[in-house]
Chain A
Amino acid sequence: MRTLDPRLLRIARGARSALAADVALGLLAAVALLAQATLFAYAVAQAFAGRGLGAVAGALVALAALAVARGLLAGAFEATGRRAAARIMSSLRLELVRRRTHDAPTAVDGAESGEVATAAVQGVDALETYFARYLPQLVLAVLVPLAVLGWTVAIDPVSALIMALTLPLIPVFMWLIGRYTERRTRARWNALARLSNHFLDVMRGLTTLRSFNRGEAQTERIAAVGEEYRRTTMQTLRVAFVSGAVLDLAATLATALVAVTLGLRLVDGGVTLRAALTVLLLTPELYVPLRALALQFHASADGLAAAERILDLIEAPGAPPAGEAATPLAWQTLRLDDVGLANPGRPGQVLDGVDFELRRGEICALVGRSGAGKTTVAALLLGLRRPDTGHVTVDGVDLAGFDAATWRRQVSWVPQRPTLFHGSVAYNIALGSDGLSAAQIEQAARLAGADGFVRELPHGYDTTIGEGGRSLSAGETRRIALARALVRDAPLLILDEPTADLDAESAEVVTAAIGEAREGRAVLVIEHRPALARLADRVVRLRDGKTVTETVRADAAETRPTVGASGEPPVPAAAVGHASAPVIAPGAAPA
């Protein structure tokens, strides 16, 4: 990421006044510095001329006052910048969550959500350096040297000329070194990243290592990788630190050069002691802002990486705006009409001619291999995505015309990987339904086969689950989500693999509940298992984003090949199972 990424600057705009205040404070501090140098030189020159403490008392008091003033300014500079950074980070976070819920509600994967959340919360440290120090310093690095040079011209033009001559060397050197370092660093970057992640990798896989008796052997490997990491990084740093050293060298050489020239000119009487001392104090200050800028540039690199992740998520494409019409409540039929859809930025169609209908009072099973587009169909019906071609219609009216929020109020959904939210079991089940009684919640849990294990939790329905709470297995999570979906009073029920991760017993309970749920509802079940497909009134088979067959089971099986389909049988294969064997005596060890 470029250091002056326009996206970051757009965000910084919100804190423009704070950043401007920061620059102003920096400039005031520079003015205080000039005054301090001048007063210091004055006091020394007075003492040199034989005057006592009384004669310079005023100057000394002023110096002390300036010290306090500089302290205040430095403190205010620091505090203002960091406060602005905190505000910027907060607006970045809020924009992220607003965007992810309102405009582009797609789930962020498990591992990635953790990393993004960490970046959004912890990344503030590094971004603080960027906003609080780097950005104001960028302005100050130009203005402060100009002020110092200007003041020096007023005092002693010869020294100002010497100083001015050393300045242009810096950018040239920096540019040369920067180019060189960048090339070298980039070549090593991947290797370095891998080495630095090695320890995390080993810790994460430690149980596996111990299973194969490889745990102890890792100690040497960790030491070796650590050593390799050190060696490689040091090679990079040896070059990277040269840029800092060049700035240091320029500053000290300029100071030495100015000091020696001043000394010689003092001997000739070409300059006064007071002027000479003032200039001597100011010379190093010419380079301080540049040096600070270089340091902060490196320190803020991490923050930029964090910001980039968040910005990428904020700018991910969202769903097109929905219409405003209120949804009819008493609809009977949902239709997908030759629907096609591609994922932005990826080749190929996800859906390419999906055609089927869904009626109230019916269960429709959507089957097909993974990758056939089943989950995308669910996203379309939820109004989370829109078709590129074709239509989704509600009693013949395009879904796109309806207000998304009111439409979703009619939908109940269990995704492929349901989420539990931090709160009690009861809270999780009641989420999305208003005014449920405890009895209704328990009834829903019973239907979903969850009541049994919930009662065995330490606090039953009051047990805290979700992130940071008691962790539940995939099957238990699913059953809670099912209870949540079943209890919600919505005419469209979409279940994405409702019996995945369930043991046979719970799967049976859930299947029965789904069978009953069709009363007054349209139920779409995305499923592999035959038991559920057998329950369905309508089985739609997808392959490569196309409807292959739509089988209506109601009275007589009517199979309707939709696209020029071939191959797969329309009705799912028979159940697999095994004859139950007689119970045998435990295989205990013979006596």
Chain B
Amino acid sequence: MKTLLALLRAARPSRARVAASVALGATSVLSGVGLIAFAGYLISRAAERPPVLSLGVIIVAVRCFGLARPVSRYFERLTSHDLAFRVLAGLRVSFFARLEPLVPARLEGYRRGDLLTRMVGDVDALQNLFLRGLTPPLVALLAGGVSVAVCAAYLPLAALVLAGGLLAGGVVVPTVAAYAGRRSGARQASARAELTVELVELLRGAPELVVLGADRAALERVAALDAELTRLARAEALATGLVEGLAVAVAGLTVAGVLAVCIAATAAGALDRVLVATLALLAMASFEAVAPLPSAALRLQTTLDSGRRLLALADREPAVTDPAAAAALPAGSQLTLDGVGFAYGDDENWELSGLDLYLAPGQRVALVGPSGAGKSTIAALLVRFLDPDAGRLTLAGRDLRALRQRDVRSRVTLDSQDAYLFSTTIRENVRLARPGASDDEIERALAQARVWEWVRSLPEGLDTFVGEEGAAVSGGERRRIALARTFLAGAPVIVLDEPTGHLDPETAEALIGDALSAADTRSVVLITHRPEGLDLVDHVLTLRRGRIVDMRAVRRPPAVRLPAPV
């Protein structure tokens, strides 16, 4: 329930729209009830052979309900879908605003595409909660209530039977369904996850497994997991069958009960005989109000799990927050690390410790070392994705923690190997770094990254689509487009975190050379575990287990030493 309320708050559906959707839904159900009940009344009344004219009003009512039913149902479907899309948009905005400050430091594991995809899938799943979980119960309450009330006006006992039946169909059966869903849902989810992992591995590594002769064993594992999942799915099929059957049986039994009560009342003279068919048919049709509830309840658990996962994420504290009273950023781009230490979580092991570094404007430093030495953590510290646990970093003499993140990142730009290209045009991907940039400036940035010739040769030039759904762009070209974006940002300090990851050595060497020559007077921190480009920087620092163990000058001593920060 707490989850439900929290999610409701996150989605903020407009009350008027929910009300409209519920009203239309109830109208649709009640038109169906009205149509069949009045038709029954018409036939019963006609059987008494009254003058035809006296049936006129009833005939009009039957026709009206007959028209109102498809019309209200059509608009109900439109309104509820419209509501669902609005809720989805609201949820996306709301979760985005809460998750955005957590990236990347607090969602480190979420860099991997599949986890992110799941998160996005979770947000999408939540719209079901509202489409199936919010309006249908309200519709059931309203339409069911009206049906029972009408019934009560003629025969309270029949109303009681109907109310009992609707409660069984609208509360008891869905509860059974929710219970069945909870039990099988969790077990199926883990069986599915295991099988997915095994399948991914097998699809990805099939040739290796075959060559190693390990394919048979892998097949057997998949078959065993598949058998388990199939067993669970078949067990669930029985559960849903049970729920479905219960719903049908409850409706049928209630109609029989109402009919019996009505017949007894007629025999006792308490009910006009014309109303027997009317009330029984009304009862029959009113079950449409509760029909969608069991299947909604069956899925409730899965949806709530999605919600819980998201809320747990959204409740994390950002790793870095802007200071209440941010200092103005003075001119200058010299960076210092002063006894910087960093540890992930409560870990006793320091990822970085006692790090001292001075980066003068225009200076180029390479950080090398084996993976796990803490290189990328330094990159994250430099752009203030993380704050140090010991010591301090300063930019132009100011402690980074006293500055707004926005100000830090306008002067220090990070380009990492997993810099992302969005599913849009090359122009938009580059322009991202500076939204006001003109085509000329974008061209210049692409030229600096030595990729403009290639872009120009494309049939659609800057308008070529890249990214997930875009045209095939080689790894080298992708990296260069990302580099152009970094140049366009115009920050005086550039941090290149493994810019040549996933590239072959020839491409890597060319890329690094071009990047460093285009960086011109900017300061560069090149983080790499590969040899390319190490001859093009001023200093190479070797990092091992969070400490600088070696430092050597390569090409030239810094031409000009700027005065130290005050």
A binds B: yes
B117 interface neighbour in A71, A200, A280, Cβ under 8 Å: A200
Q: Assuming A40-B259, A255-B39, A588-B356, is B203 touching A100 (CB within 8 A)?
A: yes
Distance between Cα atoms of A124 and B554 in the complex (Å): 59
The reply to whether A86 and B70 form a contact with Cβ atoms under 8 Å apart is: no
- Find out whether the CB atom of B277 lies under 8 angstroms from the CB atom of A277: yes
Q: Residue A210 at the B interface, CB < 8 A?
A: yes
Roughly how many angstroms separate A504 CA and B418 CA in the complex, as a whole number?
A: 23
Please encode chain A, from 227 to 253, with 1 for each CB lying within 8 Å of some chain B CB and 0 for all others: 101100110011001101110110111
B145 at the interface (CB under 8 A from A): no
A501 to B39, CA, bound (A): 78
* Secondary structure call for the B interface: helix
Answer yes or no: A142 CB below 8 A from chain B CBs: no
Any A CB within 8 A of the CB of B215: yes
Whether the pair B226, A584 counts as a contact (CB closer than 8 A) is no
A273 to B52, CA, bound (A): 16
Q: Which residue of B lies closest to A586 (CB)?
A: B551
Quick one: closest A residue to B86, CB to CB?
A: A230
Note all chain B residues with C-beta closer than 8 A to A384.
207, 210-211
Residues of A contacting B485 in the complex (Cβ-Cβ under 8 angstroms): 212
Q: Per DSSP, are chain A's interface residues mostly helix, strand or loop, or mixed?
A: helix
Nearest A residue to B195 via CB reads A121
Residues of B within 8 A of A113 (CB): 199-200, 203-204
Q: Which residues of A contact B238 (CB under 8 A)?
A: 79, 83
Q: CA A63 – CA B249 in complex, angstroms?
A: 11
Check B46 against A264 for contact (C-beta < 8 Å).
yes
Least distance between B248 CB and chain A CB atoms (Å): 4
The answer to whether B113 has its CB under 8 Å from any CB of chain A is yes
Report the stretch among A181-189, A336-344, A437-445, A465-473 that lies at the interface.
A465-473
Which candidate, A201-209, A533-541, A556-564, is the interface stretch facing chain B? A201-209
A528 beta carbon closer than 8 Å to chain B: yes
Shortest Cβ distance from B551 into chain A, in angstroms? Answer: 5
On chain A, which size bracket covers the interface?
35 or more
Using CB atoms, name the residue of chain B closest to A120.
B199
CB distance from B146 to the nearest CB of A (A): 19
> Distance (Å) between the CB of A475 and the closest chain B CB?
7
Would you give the 0/1 interface string for B446-476, flagging 1 where the beta carbon is closer than 8 Å to chain A? Answer: 0000000000000000000001110000000
Complex Cα distance, B468 from A204, in Å, reads: 10
Q: Check A172 for interface membership: any CB of B closer than 8 A.
A: no
Whether B211 lies near A44 (C-beta < 8 A) is: no
* Nearest CB of chain A from residue B163's CB, rounded to whole Å: 18
- The answer to whether B202 and A100 have CB atoms under 8 Å apart is yes
B229 at the interface (CB under 8 A from A): yes
**Complex interface: stretch among B4-12, B147-155, B325-333, B408-416:** B408-416
Q: Which of B120, B230, B281, B372 contacts A203 (CB 8 A)?
A: B120
Give the residues in chain B near A223, CB-CB below 8 Å: 89, 93
Given known pairs A578-B554, A581-B554, the reply for A259 and B39 (CB within 8 Å) is yes
B422 in the interface (beta carbon within 8 A): yes
Q: Which residue of A lies closest to B536 (CB)?
A: A578
The contact string, 1 if C-beta is below 8 Å from chain B, for chain A 169-205, is 0000000000000000000000001100111111111
Closest to A111 in B: B113
Cβ of B156 under 8 Å from chain A: no
A199 touches B120 (CB 8 A): yes
Q: Bound complex: CA of A500 vs CA of B435, how far in Å?
A: 37
Within 8 A of B (CB), among A549-591: 576-578, 580-591
Are A587 and B365 interface neighbours, CB within 8 A?
yes
Interface residues of B in 330-378 (CB under 8 A from A): 336, 338, 356-360, 363, 365, 368, 370-372
Contacts beyond the supplied A219-B97, A263-B59: 6 A-B pairs with Cβ under 8 Å: A81-B237, A262-B42, A263-B55, A273-B47, A281-B281, A582-B552
* A to B CB contacts below 8 Å, 21 in the list: A44-B280, A53-B264, A53-B267, A75-B241, A75-B243, A79-B238, A82-B234, A89-B233, A94-B222, A122-B192, A222-B96, A226-B90, A252-B67, A255-B35, A263-B45, A263-B46, A266-B46, A267-B49, A528-B504, A578-B535, A584-B539
7 cross-chain pairs, A with B, having the tightest CB-CB distances, nearest first: A67-B252, A75-B245, A226-B89, A71-B249, A79-B241, A432-B212, A419-B205
